[in-house]
Amino acid sequence: MRPGTRVLIVEDDRSIARLVQAHLEHLGFTVLCRHDGVSGFDAVAEFRPELVVLDIMLPGLDGVGLLKKLRSEGSRVPVMMLTARAAPMDKVHSLDHGADDYLAKPFDMGELMARVRALLRRVEGEEILRVGDLEIDTAAHTVRREEREIELTAREYELLVFMARNARRVLSRETLLSRVWNQDFDVGTNVVDVYVGYLQKNRLPGRREAAHPHRPRRRIRAERRLTVPIRWRLTLFNALVIGTILVVLGFALFFLLRQTLLSSVEDAARDRALAVARSVEIGEGLEEFEGRLVLDDDLVDAIVFDGVFIIVRDGEGNVIAETVDLPSATEARDEVWRTALEADAPAYGTVDFSADEGGTDYVYAVPVRPSEGGPARVVEAGKSYEMAEENVRAVSFVLALGIGAAFLFSVGGAYLLARAALLPVSAVVKAARRITEGDLSKRLPVAHPGDEIGGLATTINAMLARLEGAFSRLEEALVRLEDTLARQRRFAADASHELRTPLTSINGYAQVLEEWGLEDPEFAPEGVAAIKRESERMKGLVENLLILTRGDEGAVLDPVCGNLSEVAEEAVEAARAASGGKTAVEYEPPEGEICARFERDPIRQALTILLDNAIKYTLEGGKATVEVGEGNGEVFVSVTDTGVGVPEEDLPHIFERFYRVDGARADGGAGLGLAIADQISTSHDARIHVES
C-alpha cells in the first residue's frame, strides 16, 4: 500500500463518512466523500479511486444499483460494501453483483483497515492464471479460451480463480464455501456442486465431464408393468362371460340334438319291431313263397322305409325272413335276439351288420308266440346310426361356426358397450385435465346425475368447490401472512439499520479518539460532538420505538372532552419556535370552541409530528398553515404547506415504519414520526388523509 492511495467513500451518514475519512487520511490515504448514489457514481470517473467504500441505503441511487452500473460499464475498481444491512441475502446479493468484500455495521476500525489493506494488496498482486487452455486475467477480470472470452458472473469468476490458484490441490466443499462464499453465513449444502456443474456444462464447454472418483456408477433399471386399459378389461371380461355362455349353450344344444336324432333312430326301430311282431303273432305277417317264408309285401311296404330293416328268426335263431341281405359273418355278432328269447321280453342293442368296420345299427328284438300255437319266433327291427351321426356332425359344425361368429360379435359388442359406458368417464378425465391448481373454478360435466358416473362427478364437483373455497381462503391468509412477515422483516432490518448506524459512529469515534484523536486538537472536539450527537439521535430513536411498542400493545387511553383548537394552537406555537423563522407557521382559529373526546398529550404529539414534517420539507421562506374545524358531524385539523410534496407512488407508504420517500435516510429523522402520528390517530378512532 503506497501513500496517497485514493479511496472513495459513498455513505449517506455524514458522521460515519467523516469518521472513516479522518482515520484513512490519518494513515496517509487520499479520501473523497460523497453522500448519495448519483454523485458517488460520477466521482468514480472524476476521482478514479483505487478502492470504493460503499453503503447500500443511499438517496437517489442505492449502493447495489451503483455497483451494477459500475460493473456494466466495465469498471473493475475494488468495492467494499460498508452497511448496516447484515442479512445473508443482502451479502449474497451484493457479492453476486460485483462487490469484492462486505462488512456490516457496527464494525471494528481495525478490521475495516485490515480489509482495506487486503483489497489493495489483491489489486497490486493481480496476475495471469493459466490452467490448460484457460487464461484468467485477474487485472481485467476476464476469462479466455482459445482467444474466445467467456462471460462469468462475479461468483463464478471468484470460484474459477480460487480453483485455478489451487489447481493441484483437492478442494473440499467446506473449503470452497469458506473461501469463495463467506463462512459467517450458511449456504445450501449443494451450492458448490451447482456452481461447479454449471461451469463445466455451460460456461466452459468442450471437455467431457470426468467421472467422480468416489462416486460409484449407478445402474438404473426401469421396470415396466403392463397396464391394460379399463375399456379392454371390460371388453375381455364381457367377451369371456358371453363366450362361456355360448359354449355352454352350444354343448347343451349339441347333446340335445344328438340325443334327439339317435332317439328317432331307436324309436323307429322299436315301433316297426312291435308292429311286425303283432302281425306275426296273429299270423298275418308271413307268407310262404317258393317253399320258404317271407314277409308280406303289404307289410313290408308299410314298415320298411327310411332305412329300417326287419329280420324274423325262429326259436333257434335261424333267419326265416328278412328285408335285407345280411352277410353271413355278421350273424354271430347279433346277440340281441337271444337275449329277447331267453328273457321272453323285448331287448335292444347295437349290432354292426355292415360288411366294413365302422357301421353301427340299432336293433330292437321282440319275442313272438303265434296265437295258433306255432313255434316261437323273434322279430328284430333295426336301423343304422350312420345317417343320424352324419346329421349330428353337420349340426356340430354349424354350431361351432355359429358360436365362433357369435363370440367375435360379442367381442365387438362388448368393446362398443364398454366404450359407450366409459364415454362419461373420458369426458370427466378430459375436463379434470383442464383443471389446474391455478384455476379451480372449472367443473366436471354431469351428463346423467342419476347414474354412478354422474354421482361421482357430482361428488368431485362438490369437493372442487370446497377446495376452491379453501384455497381462496388459504391464498388470502398466505398473502396477509406474507405481507405481515415482510413488514416485520422490513421493520427489523430498518430498526437494526437505524440502531447500528449511531452505534457504529459512537464506537468508531471512541476508538479513533483512543488511538490518536485526543492528540489532534482539531479532531478531538469534532469526535466528542459526533458522539454526543449520535447518542441523542439513538436516544430519540429508542424513545420512538418504545412509543410504537406501547401503542402496539394497546395502551389504555383516558380521553376527556376538550377544546381541540387549544391543543392545535399550542402545537403551532411550539413549531414556530422550532422553525426559527425559516418557515412561517400560521394558525387559522375557528369561530368557536371545537370540542371532542381525546387525550391531550398524544394528540399534541401527533400535531407536532405533522408540523415538524411540514417545516422540514418546506423551503426557506415557505409557509405552513394549521386550521381546525368541524363538518358532517366530525371535527378535523388540517396542516398544509408549500413544500416539495410527496410523489403519488409514495403516498400509500408514508405511514409505514422507517419508510422514506427517497429510499434512504432523511436528514434528522428515522422514518418513525408519521407512523407514530398514524398510530395515535387510530387509537382515537380517527384517520389521517394525505393529499399532495
Higher pLDDT residue, 406 or 197? Answer: 406
Do the beta carbons of residue 387 and residue 307 sit within 8 Å?
A: yes
Query: What letter does residue 439 receive in the DSSP assignment?
Result: B
State the average pLDDT over residues 294-310: 76
Q: What CA–CA distance (Å, rounded) separates 627 from 498? A: 34
Give the pLDDT confidence of 419-445 residue by residue, as tens digits.
887 777 777 777 777 776 667 777 778
Q: Is the peptide bond before 327 cis (omega within 30 degrees of 0)?
A: no
* pLDDT value, residue 213: 42
CA distances from 426 to 231, 420, 433, 454 (A): 11, 10, 11, 12
Of 8, 81, 79, 17, which Cα lies nearest the Cα of 42? 8
Using alpha carbons, list the distances in angstroms from residue 319 to 307, 362, 378, 566: 19, 18, 9, 157
Q: What is the pLDDT of residues 132-170, one digit of tens each?
A: 788 887 767 788 887 788 888 877 888 888 888 777 778
The arithmetic mean of pLDDT across residues 228-252, rounded, is 85
Summary mean pLDDT of the chain = 80
CA geometry: angle at 9 spanning 7 and 153, to 5°? 85
Task: Give the pLDDT confidence score for residue 208 in this predicted structure.
Answer: 44
Supply the pLDDT for residue 30. 92
The kind and range of the H/E element at 513 are helix 452-515
User: Which long-range contacts does 333-341 make (Cβ < 8 Å, 24+ apart)?
Assistant: 334/363, 334/380, 336/363, 336/364, 336/365, 336/380, 337/311, 337/313, 337/365, 337/378, 337/380, 339/365, 340/365, 340/366, 340/367, 340/378, 341/315, 341/317, 341/367, 341/376, 341/378
Model confidence pLDDT, tens digit, residues 325-369? 766 555 556 788 888 888 888 998 888 766 555 568 888 988 887
C-beta separation of 303 from 275 below 8 A: yes
Beta bridge partners of 102: 81
Output phi, psi for 637, to 5 deg. Answer: -125, 125
HEC letters along 146-164: CCEEECCCHHHHHHHHHHH
Q: Tell me how far apart the alpha carbons of residues 564 and 628 are, in angstroms, rounded to a whole number.
A: 8
| Contact (CB, 8 A) for 273 and 366 | yes
How many CB atoms within 10 Å of residue 240? 14
As beta bridge partners, residue 595 has 563
Question: Considering the entire predicted model, what is its pTM?
Answer: 0.44
Mean pLDDT value of segment 5-10 = 93
Q: Please, which pLDDT band fits residue 222 given cuts at 50, 70 and 90?
A: very low
DSSP states along 214-248: TS--------------HHHHHHHHHHHHHHHHHHH
Q: Which helix (H) or strand (E) holds 298?
A: helix 297-303
pLDDT above 90: percentage of residues in the chain: 8
Q: Which of 60-64, 107-111, 308-312, 552-556 has the lowest mean pLDDT?
A: 552-556
Higher pLDDT, 490 or 196: 196
Residues 496 and 528: beta-carbon distance below 8 Å: no
Q: Enumerate residues 6+ apart whose C-beta is below 8 A from 653.
A: 659
- Cell numbers standing for residue 246: 355360448
Instruction: Classify residue 215 by burial, with Cβ atoms within 10 Å: 0-12, 13-18, 19+.
Output: exposed
Q: How far apart are CA 414 and CA 401, in angstroms?
A: 20
Using a 10 angstrom Cβ sphere, with 0-12 exposed, 13-18 middle and 19 or more buried, the burial of residue 225 is exposed
Question: Is the pLDDT score of 128 beyond 50?
Answer: yes
| 668 Cβ neighbours under 8 A, 6+ residues apart | 616
